[in-house]
Amino acid sequence: MDTSYALRQNELVMNWRAPKALLLQASLAGAAVLLPALCHLLGVPVYFLLPMHWPVLLAGLVYGWRGGLLVGLMAPLASFAFSGMPTATALAYVGAELAAYGFATGFMREVLHLKSYAAIAAAIIFGRIVYVAAFALFTGFKTPAWAMLSYGLAAAVLQAIILPSVAEKWTGKPQR
């Protein structure tokens, strides 16, 4: 087994710098590009499912704050480069939000040793605060803050339920 990729004993996250790990993180960023396209193709409203968020949160759980931040930064940039979405206007605040999600999930898991579902919940709150602040900074408050925060609540609950199990399968370590 490649020890640079595997979890070391008593670690909650995997080594984010190993070549295989970097490739898998790039794959997660790619999934964050493909999932919204798939949702659009199937007619699923992306504002309800928040498909870009899932791989970013998973990266934070599996690879810690550095890997989560990396995927959170790569995903919106890659999506914009390949599909033009998010729009150039939205790229700054969506990018800030996704980077915050990846960083916070990983930090809560790797440094603070929170359980996965708690790390996701805290990261979602932190990411939404960053989103509102970045949105206000780049556009002004044209939309009430509560309206911006209300979308995706069902996705947030599903993420907190499903992603710990996915991370557990990925790492082979209990995530709960």
79: confidence class by pLDDT, cuts 50, 70, 90: very high
Q: What is the pLDDT of residue 151?
A: 80
Predicted TM-score (pTM) of this structure: 0.90
Contact 86, 137 (CB under 8 A): no
Alpha helix (H) ranges present in 11-87? 19-42, 46-49, 53-83
pLDDT in tens, 105-159: 999 999 999 999 999 999 999 999 999 889 888 887 776 666 667 788 889 999 9
In b/e form, how buried is each residue of 115-145, taking b as 16+ CB within 10 angstroms?
ebbebbbbbbebbbebbbebbeeeeeeeeee
Q: What is the CA radius of gyration of the chain?
A: 16
Domains of the chain: 27-171 (1.10.1760.20)
Q: Is the pLDDT of residue 47 over 80?
A: yes
Q: What is the pLDDT of residue 9?
A: 45
Here the tokens at position 61 are 């759980």
